[in-house]
Amino acid sequence: MKKYPSTISSDYKGQLVIPKEVRKELSIEEGAAFWIFLIENEGILLKRVSGEHLSENELIMVELRENSDKITVNKSNIDRSIERYRRKKITSLEEI
């Protein structure tokens, strides 16, 4: 995993711009789809996905937890986020 030595800020609408060098390296083009995860007490994580609907939410969460050390995210915060997600009556990644 690469870390880029830059800080990004949100604009007045709350939009974030992914730096050009990151977009280039990951081949991110206009219209690319991402799931956004809220990790309690940490921040957000973007996961690039195909534009089609994902039905394997659990697999994404397992992958996120397994890689938490690489992205310096506390596993207990991920677990709390997953638990909150599972308690919802209608579960979708948008609500994690």
Q: Tell me the C-alpha distance between 74 and 93, whole Å.
A: 19
Question: Residue 96: its pLDDT value, please?
Answer: 44
E strand spans, 1-96: 33-39, 43-49
Strand partners, 44: 38
Among the residue ranges 5-19, 39-53, 58-72, 76-90, the one predicted with the least confidence is 76-90
Task: Report whether pLDDT(55) > 60.
Answer: no
Question: Residue 67: its pLDDT value, please?
Answer: 81
Question: Residue 54: its pLDDT value, please?
Answer: 45
Q: Tell me the C-alpha distance between 39 and 55, whole Å.
A: 20
Are 57 and 95 in contact by the 8 Å Cβ rule? The answer is no
Which residue range forms the structural domain that includes residue 80?
A: 20-95
Looking at the structure of the chain, the number of domains it has is 1
Instruction: Return the number of other C-beta atoms located less than 10 Å from residue 7's C-beta.
Output: 6
Name the pTM for this structure.
0.50
